[in-house]
Structure 1
Amino acid sequence: MRRFVKRNGSVVIFLILTVLASIFVKNFFALNNFLTIIKQAAIPIIACLGITIVLMTGGIDLSLGYTLGLCSITVGLLVKGVGLPIWISIILTLLVGLLVGLVNGVLVQIVKVPAFIVTLGSGFVIFGIAQIVSSGSDINRLPANFRAIGVTNILGLNTTVLISLIICIVMYYLLHHSTFGRSLSAFGFNARAARMSGIKTERLNVLVYMICSFLVAIAAILLTIRVNCAQPTMGGGVYTFEVITGAIIGGASLFGGVGTVIGSVFGVLIIKVLENCINLLNVSYYTYQAFQGIVILLAIIFENVKNRRL
């Protein structure tokens, strides 16, 4: 139990925050409100799991939000503009996500450019491409059968929530019960030692960025369905830092080697509970954005202090 709490402190924080919000925030403690929080968290959780595995390698992906915008406008153009069948459009959009991850991973690992610089630069390139292919315009009124994917219930669960749950289960197995997860942790803690032990670190690093962008593409498709609008500006920097904040709150280390699925899930849930409280209390959203920045700064300071002690 103590080990679980140590590795997943975000669960404890979530429970404490939920209790406090139930006491002090009017209308928070209601079933419909809890269901709303879960639905709002389902899509960011998918993207958060992607950035978590990148952070575990000691890397970072600042192009995440822009990739989301590109994939959103891609699926919108294919479904409505070109008129391709839905599943072909979805598959092609997922391939776009994989391609973005491949480029980021190759530049980071093969060309040896720092991840911060690569993904910051690629983010602006991706944003420009999304603006060009969409002419800077949103695509509204998507086909009804495409929107139906997000409103259908299966076994009493909303499709979006169910997809998020399935991805969480798959990622939990990969990170905590497979060679991939063990290799990822070893690589994050000490890349040189991992390489000497036989782990193909170059291939692993590229694969991690591809998985991250693939999950972001899934999140983009689901978010496009939810808002019934494909937007080239759907993600951007704000979404990127929201997802990164969720991973950090969930215990992922900015210096690599540490990260859990449960921690990241509850990290996002904490963010959504705070957003919900801000809405119910009519507090400025800019206050919440300032809080996100403070969390990231504190996490960096904490990690630096901890590493110096070690």
Structure 2
Amino acid sequence: MGKEQKTMENNKQALRMFVKKNGSVVVFAILCIAAAIFVPRFASVNNFLLIIKQSAIPVIACIGMTMVLMTGGIDLSLGYTIGLSSTIVGMLVKTHEMAYLPAILITLGVGVVIGLINGFCVQAIKVPAFITTLGTGYIIYGIAEIVSHGESVNRLPKGFLAIGKTEVFGVNTTVVITAVICLVFFYILHMSTFGRNLSAFGLSEPASRLSGVATAKINVLVYVNCAVLASLVGILLSIDVNCAQPTMGGGNYTFEVITGAVLGGASLFGGVGSVVGALFGVMTIKVIGNCINLMNAAYYLYDAIMGIIILAAIVFENVKNRKL
């Protein structure tokens, strides 16, 4: 009897550890099962492939946001960086007929500059990340509107569109790009010294600094990384919709990405985050949106659910921190 109780206790402990480490996977699985039962036309291969395709691009942005959240910061300029990057790459490849690779590199370079500005303000000037990125976000949006004269760039070159619309062994190239990025950042976050230092930084910046961790460099790098990934998202979104415009991202896209990161287990107070969590967090919110569409419900419900998720996460983190 004692052995059976010990085995049951070990199994319960193992289950608790699995849920703690893979909570986003569990939530996604439960949601999909419920949707398959109650939502008409949800349980089909084509619908699930659609969810995967819709999730691919936001996952890239969510990985960048997750790393920023792990420092205890936030990047509210992400959506506006997407819009500016979309505008720049569209104008370079269509209006100025620039070669695709230089145009993409210049656009990613814009992300580097934005990230450096955000990181410098947060780390060197000590302006709170919320204020810094909110301010730079509106500046970025203004620049995008000035550069584009408030107009979209439509019908991008077919060769440029092929970057994200062709298939590799039957898989869309955008999905392939996302898969590669997920693998790269899985190694960076979970198997490298940088990832361990990033987690330590988020849990206790003073202790990490005293331990010899280059906290200033990490703090700047995560904002650069987030902005560069946002620029890549701007490029891929432009390819996806065959249009480049300054309103491509904006506040709503930023809010969705933050929600995906939170659903993926990233702590709003720093120290916790994962690539797997970001992936399944985004897929979860895409499943929610997909269910709303299939049920012909008002899409405003989607925004309300996202708000509830963010609020619940903040309340949960506060309660947990008080107990600790």
Q: TM-score, normalised by structure 1?
A: 0.99
| Equivalent in 23, 35, 49 of residue 35 of structure 1 | 49
Structure 1 gaps, min length 5: none
Structure 2, unmatched stretches of 5+, are 1-13
Deviation at 1:64, TM superposition (A): 0.5
Q: Residues of 2 paired with 1:207 and 1:4: CA distance?
A: 31
Question: Cα offset for 1:267?
Answer: 0.4
Q: Give the equivalent residue in structure 2 for 1:308.
A: 322
Which residue matches 1:155? 169
Find out whether 1:212 has 2:223 as its counterpart.
Answer: no
Measure, in 2, the Cα distance between the counterparts of 1:70 and 1:167: 22
Q: 1:138 aligns with which of 136, 152, 161?
A: 152
For 2:303, the equivalent position in structure 1 comes to 289
The one-letter code of the counterpart of 1:57 is: T
Structure 2 distance, partners of 1:266, 1:127, is: 29
Alpha-carbon distance in structure 2 between the residues aligned to 1:4 and 1:237: 34
Instruction: Give the count of matched residue pairs.
Output: 310
1:260 aligns with 2:274: yes
Does residue 103 (structure 1) correspond to residue 117 (structure 2)? The answer is yes
Q: Does 1:168 align with 2:182?
A: yes
Give 1:231 shift.
1.0
1:7 CA displacement: 1.6
Cα deviation, residue 42, structure 1:
0.1
Secondary structure, aligned partner of 2:150: coil
Q: Distance in 2 between matches of 1:8 and 1:283?
A: 30
Q: Secondary structure at the match of 1:252?
A: coil
CA contact (8 A) 1:8 1:260 kept: no
Which of 263, 272, 279 is equivalent to 1:249? 263
2:31 to 17, 20, 27: 17
- Please, what TM-score do these two structures have when normalized by structure 2? 0.95
1:220 positional shift? 1.0
Aligned partners of 1:283 and 1:103: how far apart in 2? Answer: 41
In structure 1, the residue matched to 2:90 is 76
Match of 2:75 in 1: 61
- The Cα of 1:5 is off from its aligned counterpart by 2.2
Equivalent AA in structure 2 for residue 109 of structure 1: Q
Cα separation, 2, equivalents of 1:20 and 1:129: 45
Question: What per-residue deviation string (whole Å, max 9, x for no partner) do you get for residues 163-219 of structure 1?
Answer: 000000001000000001000000000000000000111111000100111111111
Contact 1:65–1:235 (CA under 8 A) maintained in structure 2 = yes
* Structure-2 residue corresponding to 1:274: 288
Match of 2:136 among 118, 122, 125: 122
Tell me how far 1:4 sits from its aligned partner.
Answer: 3.3
State the alpha-carbon separation in 2 of the partners of residues 204 and 249 from structure 1: 24
Residue identity matched to 2:319: V
1:92-138 C-alpha deviation (Å, 9 max, x unpaired):
00001111111000000011000000000000000000000000111
Corresponding position of 1:187 = 201
Query: C-alpha displacement at 1:238, in angstroms?
Result: 0.4
Say if 2:21 is the partner of 1:7: yes
